[in-house]
Structure 1
């Protein structure tokens, strides 16, 4: 199924052991460029997150935001450095006696000294965290893929319409291609008559010139190849895999054939139809830049 590279997904989980929100935003990019913003403590399980997302997202710039909700953190404790506190109290008593200070030594004063009380965080059970976080990831990915698929359907329908327009213009070129040589023969014949007073023309020479022109201006092969590329392009749209790069390559070949037809054309109507084809190809190129 065709997927757009633009999408958004959100998943959340509320668990007594942890509350999390996972948001995934994607835009078009040539490769899969994945960036994760998360609490630093989750860095050891970043690889799991990447592998989970990359199973479903093959191309695009992917930004992932993980928000950790407020919950009781049993892994954080306050630790008293009793030896350091004793040393501070001893120093304060010596200062008090030496300088005859009447002010009492208070708990508030002692607790303000650095490193008396420190916060210690024990290592979290990352497997347990991942078990809680993974369902939120899956929910976000599911929403993201749904949005990308809906956008992909719109892109596919739009591109098919443009392919049909190209095919119609190509059929018009094919109908007119047969008269190009005859037009040239008539123009050459009339021009020579104007140049030669007695109107005696060398039919063999004219036939030779017409044959040379016909060989140079023949666009039958280009018409056949461009028709084949259109069919291949449509068939590729039906593949159940990422096809953005393949579509881009086929489109380059379509544009190559259109340029060749334009360079060989001496007929105004064929030139106009070729310009229509090139215009539609450029519109398709803009669209497929956002196809995965």
Structure 2
């Protein structure tokens, strides 16, 4: 399910903001990006998302901006000297050109900000607590956004269920007419055979018709489809943030499709086949939406 949320906070040294985005997905896939030096927050953030959500591709980003003026820069001369020594060795061994000074200065760690004092462990613990509180706020807002989308999605899925129910009623009507179609077809085939073979007895004729009708009987499939419709409505009614039903609904769609396939394979009536194809299309449209359900 899709959703977006943003929450921010600040202290006397910095400002920060958590952003959370989610898009549809069969499973829960979490991508977390935090600034350098805050890697310790990544696993707790992933765990916090997993505690609230079950499905979706979730992107979580933390940005931190210093409130203080830019710090003076200094050159890490020890690192620069070591780099120059390595460059000279490589130049002698390979004959490569000596790199320009700006290339050496771009190496990470050569230019540093002057340290104005490390924060105490207590200050860092307080910062982590504040960041976690903002994270909780943004995840709560994201869950709310997804819930709002879920309500709209429930109405769409309910419409698909109604469509499937209507097609099942049409299929039941055509299934009754199918018996007459089978009898007429068998009589036509029998008329051709009678020109070459002795006539069948009335009893044998009835047995053959009954056999064909039995093979084309779709009442069992229609009964199961009715049961699946009832179960789909129950799942939709029971869907809550603390009771995810997406996977159950996904499996139920597979059962819907299995019965529709069997109905089409048994059909001996062109109209019933058309209804069966429409039914498969409606089930597929519902399945696509069910992929978005928590």
TM over 0.5: yes
Equivalent residue runs for 1:130-209 within 5 Å: 130-193=128-191, 195-196=193-194, 201-209=200-208
Residue of structure 2 in register with 1:22 after alignment = 18
Equivalent residue runs for 1:248-263 within 5 Å: 248-263=250-265
Separation in 2, partners of 1:254, 1:31: 22
Q: Secondary structure at the match of 2:30?
A: strand
Query: What is the Cα deviation at residue 159 of structure 1?
Result: 1.1
Q: Secondary structure at the match of 2:143?
A: helix
Higher relative contact order (CA 8 A, sep 6+): 1
Separation in 1, partners of 2:73, 2:198: 113
Q: Structure 1 residues 181 and 34 mapped into 2: Cα distance closer, same or farther (>3 Å)?
A: same
Separation in 2, partners of 1:45, 1:252: 40
Residue of structure 2 in register with 1:288 after alignment = 290
Separation in 2, partners of 1:156, 1:118: 54
Residue of structure 1 in register with 2:92 after alignment = none
Separation in 2, partners of 1:187, 1:33: 56
Asked if 2 retains the 8 angstrom alpha-carbon contact of 1:11 and 1:138, the reply is no
How many residues end up aligned between the 2 structures? Answer: 255
CA offsets 1:51-93 (integer angstroms, 9 cap, x no match): 22222122111111111122239xx9999x9xx9xxxxxxxxx
1:32 to 25, 28, 34: 28
Separation in 2, partners of 1:126, 1:51: 20
Asked if 1 retains the 8 angstrom alpha-carbon contact of 2:13 and 2:66, the reply is no
Separation in 1, partners of 2:207, 2:170: 28
Residue of structure 1 in register with 2:8 after alignment = 12
CA offsets 1:247-279 (integer angstroms, 9 cap, x no match): 111000100000000000011221111111111
Q: Secondary structure at the match of 2:292?
A: coil
Separation in 2, partners of 1:274, 1:11: 50
Q: Structure 1 residues 20 and 202 mapped into 2: Cα distance closer, same or farther (>3 Å)?
A: same
Residue of structure 2 in register with 1:62 after alignment = 58
Query: What is the Cα deviation at residue 280 of structure 1?
Result: 0.6
Q: Does 1:238 align with 2:234?
A: no
For normalisation by structure 2, the TM-score amounts to: 0.77
Separation in 2, partners of 1:23, 1:165: 39
Query: What is the Cα deviation at residue 46 of structure 1?
Result: 2.4
Segments of 5+ residues of structure 2 without an aligned counterpart are: 79-108
Separation in 2, partners of 1:131, 1:219: 62
CA offsets 1:162-190 (integer angstroms, 9 cap, x no match): 11111111011112212322331233224
Whichever of the two has the greater Rg, that structure is 1
Separation in 1, partners of 2:217, 2:119: 75
Q: Structure 1 residues 58 and 191 mapped into 2: Cα distance closer, same or farther (>3 Å)?
A: closer
Segments of 5+ residues of structure 1 without an aligned counterpart are: 85-113
Separation in 2, partners of 1:126, 1:237: 45
Q: Does 1:127 align with 2:125?
A: yes
Q: Secondary structure at the match of 1:35?
A: strand
Q: Does 1:50 align with 2:52?
A: no
| RMSD, aligned α-carbons | 3.0
For normalisation by structure 1, the TM-score amounts to: 0.78
Q: Structure 1 residues 192 and 18 mapped into 2: Cα distance closer, same or farther (>3 Å)?
A: same
